[in-house]
Chains A and B, each alone.
Chain A
Amino acid sequence: RKEVEQDPGPFNVPEGATVAFNCTYSNSASQSFFWYRQDCRKEPKLLMSVYSSGNEDGRFTAQLNRASQYISLLIRDSKLSDSATYLCVVSTTSGTYKYIFGTGTRLKVLA
């Protein structure tokens, strides 16, 4: 079983739609959680950290459910520019913070 699992998609949604991605992780000792965005053939860029209380940044909302060991990302009012791969990242802090990436979920927002 992979340490971090995501549905690879692709998710094809019309502009203005709301789309949600889920991610599950296997290590219950995981302590830090992130969503990264990666455009085609570019490096990953931090989209947002995910906190236990949930957090929101504009059209993006991230949630963490420690009991079920999953993380979600909700994108409201999708824009064409949101088309990218969204990577779920988990870190277990044991002297270092090594990040474990999921495979990524591809999103394509259609005009």
Chain B
Amino acid sequence: DAGVTQSPTHLIKTRGQQVTLRCSPKSGHDTVSWYQQALGQGPQFIFQYYEEEERQRGNFPDRFSGHQFPNYSSELNVNALLLGDSALYLCASSPPRTGTYYGYTFGSGTRLTVV
């Protein structure tokens, strides 16, 4: 049973460029959340997608955008990259809501370095 898969695993980009990160949720999960984790910090919520729509958004600028496809997979796009965007980007999926006590399942992340 495949868990959450993310691609690519590592990426190096130049300031000002654009990047797209991809996530396939765990089988049976329909909600995808994206997090940014800077070194030494906890993951910070970027946004969450459900039924192909952005359902909730954290405190991130519009340079961060996303998409969810009918098969529940998702993309995170970041435009006009800044050095401060260097981080581990984590995708987490969760199952249809049957309660509030389900933890997310995380992918292994994409490590983005902006130079």
Contact = CB atoms under 8 A, between A and B. Distances in A.
A31 B88 CA distance: 27
Interface residues of B, number: 30
Contacts of A46: 103-105
Given A43-B109, A87-B42, A96 B104 contact: no
B42 A98 contact: no
A4 to B, nearest CB: 8
A98 B100 contact: no
A98 B90 contact: no
Contacts of A101: 35, 42-44
Main secondary structure of the interface of A (DSSP, over half): strand
A99 B102 CA distance: 11
A49 B104 CA distance: 11
Given A43-B90, A102-B42, A103-B42, A97 B100 contact: yes
Interface in B1-56: 31, 33, 35, 40-45, 48, 50, 55-56
A93 interface: yes
Interface of A: 4, 8, 31-32, 34, 36, 41-46, 49, 51, 87, 89, 91, 93, 95-104
A87 B100 CA distance: 18
A96 B55 contact: yes
A87 B43 CA distance: 9
Given A96-B55, A104-B42, 16 more contacts: A31-B100, A32-B100, A41-B88, A43-B108, A43-B109, A44-B43, A87-B42, A89-B103, A96-B48, A96-B50, A98-B45, A98-B58, A99-B33, A99-B92, A100-B45, A104-B41
